[in-house]
C-alpha cells in the first residue's frame, strides 16, 4: 500500500506535477476526427486544462486555451459560439492520425509518433472512438495491464457464436481453433504472467496452461505512458489510451486496427453510439443507473450482470474504486506483476525528468522512432514448450496476409 504522497505523485497530472510532466512529454489524444465538423472551436478538456481546437489563419489546427468559469463542470462541452479563446495563454501543436487529433503539451520540439501498426494501417482498416470514465487515468490504465481479471470480470457463463463477434472483445475464437475465447478465459482462470521491458514500454504475456500439454498465449502491451495494445479478435487489435481530463476523469481513446478486412466503420460506430451519448461520449450505463445491473443475467449469463459489453465491466470496476483509487489500503499480489513493473517505470521516468535526464524516458534517446513498430499482440494456442515461437509465427502469418504493409522485418 502506498502513502498518500506516493499515490498523489503517480496519479495527479495537472500542470507542474511529476506525472503530468511525464505525460506531457508524449502526444496525447485530444479529440476524435469525428468531432471535427465545420464548426470551430471544438472544446477539449485535457490534463486539467480547458482548451479548444481551432483553425489558425493558415488553416492548420491548433489546441488553444479557452476561457472558463471557475465553477465550470469537469467535462463541460460549451457550444462553439460560446467559446472565447485566450490568445495570451498556452497553445499546443496538434496532428491528426488514425482518426484521432493528438496534441503535444510538453516543452520543446514535439517527438515523432512511433511507427505502431495503428498508425501504419490505412484509413480503410482503422476506426477510432472514445468514451468517458469518471475516474483517475491510472486505475483505468492498470485494469488494461492486468491479464488475470478477464477470467472473472469478463466471464460469460455461455459461449456465443463467434461468427457474431464482429467489433466485440473476447467473443471470437481463440487462434486457429474452434474454441471461443470466452471458454478459454472461463476454464483457465489462473494465468502465468510474464513481463518484459521493451523500447516502448512493456510486453505482457499471459499463459493459460491447458490439457494435452497445450498453452494459450495472450500477448498484450503497455505503451508508455498510458496506452495499451491488445488483441480484440483474430483480425483486429485495439490500441487504447487512457487520457486524463483531470485527476478524477479520463477518456479512453481507442484505435481499432484490422489486419484483414476493411473495418465496417458504420457498424462499429453504430454499436458504440448505442452505448454513449454525444457530445461528451459519456456512457449510457453508469453509476447513476447501476450500470444496468440485472441479477438474473448475473445468475445465468455474466459474472457482473452488466451486459455483454466488456467495456462496461471495466468501467464499473475502475469507477467503483472511487475518483482516485485509495492505494493507501491496497494489497498487490503476484498476478499484479505488470502493474508493479509499470509503476516502477513511471516512478523512474518522473525522477529522470525531474533531474533533467529526459533521454531516459521510454522512447526518448532513440534516434529514429520509426524503428519502433508493431507491437505483437495476439492470442495463440501452442505446444507448451513452444509457446513463444508459436506466438511470433502467428503474428508473422497474420502480417504476411495483411492487405496493407504490416511488415516488421528491418
Partner 1 sequence: MSPLHLTPVAAEIFDDIIDGYFPFAESMRQMMVRRGLRAALISLSQAPIMDIPGLAPTSPVPLRILEGTAGLIHAMQILVVRREAQISCSGTGDWRWFDRATHHETVFDPVTRLAEPALVRGIGFFQGPDEMETFGSVQFEPQSSVAIASLFKAVTAVETDLTPWRSAQAWSIHDELNQIVAFTSQDDRLCLKRQKSAAIIDGHFDLMGNCKLVLARPRSEREHVILEYLQAESL
How far apart, in whole angstroms, are the C-alpha atoms of residue 314 and residue 33?
Answer: 25
Asked if 3 interacts with partner 1 (CB under 8 A), we say yes
Asked if 359 interacts with partner 1 (CB under 8 A), we say no
Prior bond of 83 cis (ω within 30°): no
Contacting partner 1 (CB under 8 A), which of 73, 295, 333, 356?
Answer: 333
How far apart, in whole angstroms, are the C-alpha atoms of residue 154 and residue 256?
Answer: 20
Segment contacting partner 1 (CB under 8 A): 93-101, 122-130, 148-156, 347-355?
347-355
Smallest distance from the beta carbon of 154 to partner 1, in angstroms?
24
Q: Are 111 and 26 in contact (CB under 8 A)?
A: yes
Asked if 386 interacts with partner 1 (CB under 8 A), we say no
Residue linked to cell 448475473: 298
Smallest distance from the beta carbon of 10 to partner 1, in angstroms?
10
Sequential DSSP letters for 122-169: -GGGEEEEEEEESS-HHHHHHHHT-TTTHHHHT-BSS---GGG-TT-T
Asked if 108 interacts with partner 1 (CB under 8 A), we say no
Asked if 409 interacts with partner 1 (CB under 8 A), we say no
Prior bond of 328 cis (ω within 30°): no
Neighbours of 365 (CB within 10 A): 10
Contacting partner 1 (CB under 8 A), which of 56, 328, 370, 386?
Answer: 328
Asked if 46 interacts with partner 1 (CB under 8 A), we say no
Asked if 197 interacts with partner 1 (CB under 8 A), we say yes
Contacting partner 1 (CB under 8 A), which of 33, 96, 157, 332?
Answer: 332
Q: Which of 105, 141, 110 is nearest to 16 (CA)?
A: 105
Asked if 56 interacts with partner 1 (CB under 8 A), we say no
Contacting partner 1 (CB under 8 A), which of 97, 168, 265, 348?
Answer: 348
Asked if 149 interacts with partner 1 (CB under 8 A), we say no
Nearer to partner 1, 9 or 276 (CB): 9
Per DSSP (E only), the strands in 296-404 are 373-374, 379-383
Smallest distance from the beta carbon of 409 to partner 1, in angstroms?
17
Residue 185 in grid coordinates:
478465459
Asked if 12 interacts with partner 1 (CB under 8 A), we say no
Asked if 388 interacts with partner 1 (CB under 8 A), we say no
Segment contacting partner 1 (CB under 8 A): 94-102, 177-185, 239-247, 341-349?
341-349
Neighbours of 180 (CB within 10 A): 21
342's CB contacts (< 8 A; 6+ apart) are: 141, 142, 145, 201, 202, 222
Smallest distance from the beta carbon of 355 to partner 1, in angstroms?
11
How far apart, in whole angstroms, are the C-alpha atoms of residue 295 and residue 54?
Answer: 47
How far apart, in whole angstroms, are the C-alpha atoms of residue 376 and residue 219?
Answer: 7
Asked if 344 interacts with partner 1 (CB under 8 A), we say yes
The phi, psi pair for 129, rounded to 5°, reads -150, 170
Please tell me the count of residues contacting partner 1 according to CB under 8 A.
22
Smallest distance from the beta carbon of 343 to partner 1, in angstroms?
7
Nearer to partner 1, 146 or 336 (CB): 336
Asked if 199 interacts with partner 1 (CB under 8 A), we say no
Residues that bind partner 1 (CB under 8 A): 1-3, 5-6, 196-197, 328-329, 331-334, 336-337, 340-341, 343-344, 347-348, 351
Amino acid at each position: 500500500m502506498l502513502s498518500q504522497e506516493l499515490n498523489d505523485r503517480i496519479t495527479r497530472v495537472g500542470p507542474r506535477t511529476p506525472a503530468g510532466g511525464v505525460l506531457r512529454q508524449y502526444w496525447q489524444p485530444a479529440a476524435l476526427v469525428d468531432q471535427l465538423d465545420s464548426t470551430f472551436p471544438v472544446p477539449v478538456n485535457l490534463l486539467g486544462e480547458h482548451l479548444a481546437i481551432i483553425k489558425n489563419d493558415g488553416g492548420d489546427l491548433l489546441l488553444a486555451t479557452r476561457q472558463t468559469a471557475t465553477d465550470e463542470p469537469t467535462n463541460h462541452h460549451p457550444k462553439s459560439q460560446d467559446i472565447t479563446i485566450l490568445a495570451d495563454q498556452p497553445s499546443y501543436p496538434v496532428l491528426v492520425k488514425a482518426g484521432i487529433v493528438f496534441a503535444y503539451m510538453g516543452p520543446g520540439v514535439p517527438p515523432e509518433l512511433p511507427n505502431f501498426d495503428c498508425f501504419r494501417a490505412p484509413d480503410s482498416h482503422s476506426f477510432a472512438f472514445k468514451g468517458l470514465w469518471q475516474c483517475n487515468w491510472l486505475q483505468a490504465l492498470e485494469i488494461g495491464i492486468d491479464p488475470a481479471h478477464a477470467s472473472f470480470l469478463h466471464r460469460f457463463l455461455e459461449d456465443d457464436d463467434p461468427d457474431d463477434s464482429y467489433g466485440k472483445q473476447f467473443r471470437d475464437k481463440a487462434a486457429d481453433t474452434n474454441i471461443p475465447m470466452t471458454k478459454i478465459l472461463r476454464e483457465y482462470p489462473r494465468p502465468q504472467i510474464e513481463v518484459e521491458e521493451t523500447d516502448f514500454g512493456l510486453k505482457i504475456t499471459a499463459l493459460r496452461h491447458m490439457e494435452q500439454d497445450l498453452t494459450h498465449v495472450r500477448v498484450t502491451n503497455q505503451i508508455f505512458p498510458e496506452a495499451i495494445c491488445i488483441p480484440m479478435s483474430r483480425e483486429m487489435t485495439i490500441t487504447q489510451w487512457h487520457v486524463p481530463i483531470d485527476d478524477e476523469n479520463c477518456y479512453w481513446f481507442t484505435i481499432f486496427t484490422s489486419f484483414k478486412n476493411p473495418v465496417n466503420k458504420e457498424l462499429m460506430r453504430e454499436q458504440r453510439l448505442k452505448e454513449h451519448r454525444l457530445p461528451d461520449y459519456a456512457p449510457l450505463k453508469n453509476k447513476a443507473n447501476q450500470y444496468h445491473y440485472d441479477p438474473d443475467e448475473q445468475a445465468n449469463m455474466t459474472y457482473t450482470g452488466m451486459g455483454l459489453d466488456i467495456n462496461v465491466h471495466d468501467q464499473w470496476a475502475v469507477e467503483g474504486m472511487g475518483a482516485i483509487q485509495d492505494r493507501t489500503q491496497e494489497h498487490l499480489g503476484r498476478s499484479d506483476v505488470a502493474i508493479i513493473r509499470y509503476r516502477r517505470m513511471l516512478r523512474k521516468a518522473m525522477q529522470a525528468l525531474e533531474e533533467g535526464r529526459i533521454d531516459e524516458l521510454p522512447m526518448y534517446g532513440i534516434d529514429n522512432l520509426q524503428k519502433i513498430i508493431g507491437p505483437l499482440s495476439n492470442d495463440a494456442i501452442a505446444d507448451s514448450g513452444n509457446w513463444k515461437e508459436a506466438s511470433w509465427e502467428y503474428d508473422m502469418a497474420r502480417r504476411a496476409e495483411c492487405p496493407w504493409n504490416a511488415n516488421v522485418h528491418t
